[in-house]
Amino acid sequence: MNPISVSRDINFLRRQAKTVRIEILEMLTEAGSGHTGGSLSAADVVTALYFYKMRHNPKDPLWKERDRFILSKGHAAPLLYAALSLSGYFDKSLLGTLRKIGSPLQGHPCSKLLPGVEISTGSLGQGLSIANGIALGLRMDGLNSRVYCLLGDGEIQEGQIWEAAMSASHYSLDNLCAIIDNNGLQIDGCCHDVMTIEPIVNKWIAFGWNVIDINGHDIGAILDALDEAETIKGKPTVIVARTVKGKGVSFFEGKVQYHGVAPTHEELKKALRELEDNG
C-alpha cells in the first residue's frame, strides 16, 4: 500500500502541476538564478510520478519498499524541490531559501542535505547508470520497488547514457523506467543543431528497450504510459515525453535563453497571472 494519497483524477493532477510550476517560478525569482525552462517542461511528468504513480512516504523517506526517483538532469532541482515540498517531505517555507548559503536546497540536489533526494545529481549523463545499479540491487533484494529516472534530451548526447542503456537491457531491468524530457533545447541551442538525438525512438528500441512516445503535457497520456511501463516484463521502458521548454508561461515557452535564467520580479507577476488565467 502507498503511504501517501494518490489520485488518477486528471483535473486534480493538472491543478497540482500548475501549483508545482508556481512554486518553481517563485523560488527561482527569489533566488535570482537557476534553471527555468527545463524545470517547467517536466512539471507534468514529475507531478504524475509523485501524486499518482510512485510509492513513497514523506514520513519515512528511507522506507525500504519505496519507489526511487533519480533526477539525472539535476539542474531542474527546483522541480524536484517543489514536488517534495508539496508531498510533505519538508515545509514549504524552505523553498524560499533555494541556492542560498547554508540552505539544503542547493542548485543541484544533494542527498546528504534533503530528505527525499535519493542521490546527488548534476553531472549530466550519470543518472541512468545510478538508476541501473539501484534497480539491480532492488531485484537482488527481492523487492518489487521501481526506479524512475528523468533525463534531459541534451543529456542523452552523453556516451555514458548509451552504455547504461545497453546494461539495463542486458540485465533485463524491467523495474526501471527512464523518462526523457524531450523539449528540443539545451543550453547551447537546439538539440538537433548541437548534436541530433533523432531518431530517438528507434535508437532506444535498438538498444533493447520498450519505448512509449507521448505528449509530455497530456496528463492522461502520462498516466497511461506509466501504467503500461509497469506491465512490461523482461526489458526496461523509456518514455519519450515530447515537451515544450518553459511550458505554462507563453513568454518562456520554446526559448533557449530561459534554459538557465531566473524570472525577474516583473516576469514573475506576469507569469503568475497567466497561470491563474489558464486555470
Domain of 149 in residue numbering reads as 10-277
Answer yes or no: is 267 within a domain: yes
What is the CATH number for 272?
Answer: 3.40.50.970
Kindly report, residue by residue over 87-106, the tens digit of the pLDDT: 999 999 999 999 999 999 99
- The position carrying cell 504513480 is 53
* Cα–chain center distance at 161: 16
Number of domains into which the chain is organized: 1
- The position carrying cell 531491468 is 173
Answer yes or no: is 241 within a domain: yes
163 has pLDDT over 60: yes
66 vs 56: CA distance, rounded Å:
5
Answer yes or no: is 180 within a domain: yes
Answer yes or no: is 3 within a domain: no
Q: Please report the DSSP string for 31-71 in residue order.
A: HT-S--HHHHHTHHHHHHIIIII----TT-TT-TT--EEEE
pLDDT score for 3: 66
pLDDT score for 168: 98
267 has pLDDT over 80: yes
234 has pLDDT over 90: yes
- The position carrying cell 540536489 is 109
4 has pLDDT over 70: no
Confidence of residue 5 (pLDDT cuts 50, 70, 90): low
- The position carrying cell 483535473 is 11
Kindly report, residue by residue over 139-160, the tens digit of the pLDDT: 999 999 999 999 999 999 999 9
69 vs 80: CA distance, rounded Å:
10
pLDDT score for 6: 74
